[in-house]
Structure 1
Amino acid sequence: MAACSIVKLLCNGYVIPAPRNYEDFKYALEHSSSPSISLLFGDINILPELLVQARAKKKRALVHLDLLGGVGKDKAGIVFLARMGVAAVITTKPQLGKLARESGMLVIHRLFLMDSEAIKTGVNLLKGYKPDALELLPASVPANVVAELAALTGLPILGGGLMHTAEDIKQAINSGLSAVSASKRELWG
């Protein structure tokens, strides 16, 4: 799928709401026009309800596998989520991303950047599979790093973390990110 198409599936502007609790999730459903919501909370007990509510509002729930409790981080767990109707996942683990792709889900690989060595490590992690997008944390990554990763991976580059103001988002987009995820309600408009 083309980079532009993936970004349009995830957001209709530049921000993907990323609630960290149920109250913020409900707020995002009601007040965000984004077609997707990144779930940065939850477990297997509440996930079915969250998926039903998201579908009722015609929104895609991006399930962060590393933050979801109660599901084995293995093939059986990924297949279970796919059968449950999870259409898209976020993960830092290539093996889970690969399994999710094989199960027909969209995959966003999350990469924490602390130094130039993290860039090399991240690119090497992606050699075994190709996610649909790469999300860099923090989103305040310099433009040359965004350009380098886009060139090396051929993926749309998203950002997450440390987005506190509309100006932060503007700077992130100006540095080459296609979109950002944000946990602050006031940035979801």
Structure 2
Amino acid sequence: MNHAFREIIEDCPVIATVKDMESLEKSFETDSQIIFILFGDICNISEIVERVKTEGRIAMVHLDLVSGFDGREIAVDFIRHNTRADGIISTKTAQINRAKELGLYAVHRFFVLDSRSLENIRRQSAASKPDCIEILPGIMPKVIKRIVQHQHIPVIAGGLIDDKEDIMTALKAGATAISTTRQELWFI
């Protein structure tokens, strides 16, 4: 676990998560030092990352959502060698492992669907050793609390976060931060 990244996450309880150029520009009005990039394609991701870096922010590219990448580890190599991204977000263990090998920050994203998902989170995060995990949906305080008890890395809650109450509930349950595309919540 990269301690510098952990400190940045701990200092950033609301992570601006962007899905288009308009929201990217709006994110620079926030105090969020981390920007989760959930859009782009193989042709423009370098420019998107460069815009984030120009603003002095940490750029985290969600590889599963960038068009033109096929989910293999070579996509991580592309990000490392062709952009100034600080790290990646992915649901794929192989990509998380490759990011760690290349010295990138890695956020392993998990969808919590049932009790088997909880075991999967424990098993896969132990194998991939990401810098942090992100769980979706992020509005399940009992589940967040349970996951946090079994992790020794920051847990980010994302998805379906609608208001300040959802943010406070997730943080109170033990999440280190929340990620959201809802711009009005970036300024809370």
Fold similarity call, TM over 0.5: yes
- CA gap of 1:2–1:123, structure 2 versus 1, over 3 A, is same
Counterpart residue type for residue 69 of structure 2: V
- CA gap of 1:127–1:7, structure 2 versus 1, over 3 A, is closer
Counterpart residue type for residue 137 of structure 2: P
Query: Pairwise mapping of residues 107-122 of structure 1 onto structure 2 (< 5 A)?
Result: 107-122=106-121
Q: Match of 2:18, SS?
A: coil
Q: Match of 2:48, SS?
A: helix
Aligned to 1:104: 103
CA distance, structure 2, for counterparts of residue 171 and residue 151 of structure 1: 16
User: Which moves more between the two structures, 65-74 or 152-161?
Assistant: 65-74
CA distance, structure 1, for counterparts of residue 126 and residue 32 of structure 2: 31
Structure 1 segments of 4+ aligned residues over 4 angstroms from their partners: none
RMSD, matched Cα: 1.7
TM-score, normalised on structure 1? 0.91
- CA gap of 1:77–1:182, structure 2 versus 1, over 3 A, is same
CA distance, structure 2, for counterparts of residue 89 and residue 124 of structure 1: 20
Deviations 1:52-111 (A, max 9, x none): 111111011110011011134323221121012221111111111001111111001111
CA distance, structure 1, for counterparts of residue 11 and residue 17 of structure 2: 15
Q: Contact 2:125 / 2:133 at 8 angstroms: preserved in 1?
A: no
CA distance, structure 1, for counterparts of residue 55 and residue 174 of structure 2: 30
Q: How far 1:2 sits from its partner (Å)?
A: 6.0
Q: Contact 2:63 / 2:75 at 8 angstroms: preserved in 1?
A: no
Aligned to 1:181: 179
* Correspondence 1:148 to 2:146: yes
Counterpart residue type for residue 76 of structure 1: I
CA distance, structure 2, for counterparts of residue 165 and residue 153 of structure 1: 26
CA distance, structure 1, for counterparts of residue 66 and residue 2 of structure 2: 28
Aligned to 2:124: 125
User: Which moves more between the two structures, 59-68 or 134-143?
Assistant: 134-143
Counterpart residue type for residue 116 of structure 1: S
Q: How far 1:148 sits from its partner (Å)?
A: 3.0
Alignment partner of 1:161 out of 153, 159, 162? 159
Counterpart residue type for residue 88 of structure 2: V
Q: Match of 2:157, SS?
A: strand
Give me the identity figure in percent: 28
Q: How far 1:115 sits from its partner (Å)?
A: 1.6
CA distance, structure 2, for counterparts of residue 61 and residue 11 of structure 1: 16
TM-score, normalised on structure 2? 0.91
Deviations 1:122-145 (A, max 9, x none): 2122232200001111111224x3
CA distance, structure 2, for counterparts of residue 76 and residue 179 of structure 1: 29
